[in-house]
Amino acid sequence: MFCTKCGKNIGADAVFCQYCGVRQTGAPIYATAPPRKLQRSRYDKKIGGVCSGVAHYLDLDTNLVRLVWLLTFLLAGTGFVAYVICWIVIPLEPAYLEAQYTQTA
């Protein structure tokens, strides 16, 4: 079965997509959404994947998060330090997702 929002391959009995958290149609209502994890993006990144990871965690547009981060860098000067700290602290998205993409192609 494939997710109705992101199109990724999920289990046949999945109620929620483990990648984007969207409830799948025709699934039972009693299940809860999986907890979100704050991770740097491995694929949707410009520098370190921090903005994309924060955007996915907060369910916001990636470009909006990048714009806000740029404004904090230009106006307050703390954006660069915060980005470097987040780059070090936030873990990278697991590599097993990459292996899954190469096997299906």
For the question of whether the overall pTM of this predicted structure is more than 0.75, the answer is: no
| Residue 73 domain flag | yes
Q: Same domain, yes or no, for 54 and 99?
A: yes
| Residue 39 domain flag | no
Considering only 4-8, 38-42, 45-49, 91-95, which range has the smallest mean pLDDT? 4-8
In this prediction, residue 5 carries a pLDDT of 76
Residue 104 has pLDDT above 70, yes or no: no
Q: What is the CA radius of gyration of the chain?
A: 16
Q: Over the stretch 38-76, which tens digit does the pLDDT of each residue have?
A: 888 888 888 888 988 899 889 889 899 999 989 988 988
Q: Same domain, yes or no, for 97 and 54?
A: yes
| Residue 40 domain flag | no
Which structural domain, as residue segments, surrounds residue 8? 1-34
CA pseudo-torsion sign 45, 46, 49, 55: negative
Mean pLDDT, residues 24-29: 60
Q: Same domain, yes or no, for 59 and 22?
A: no
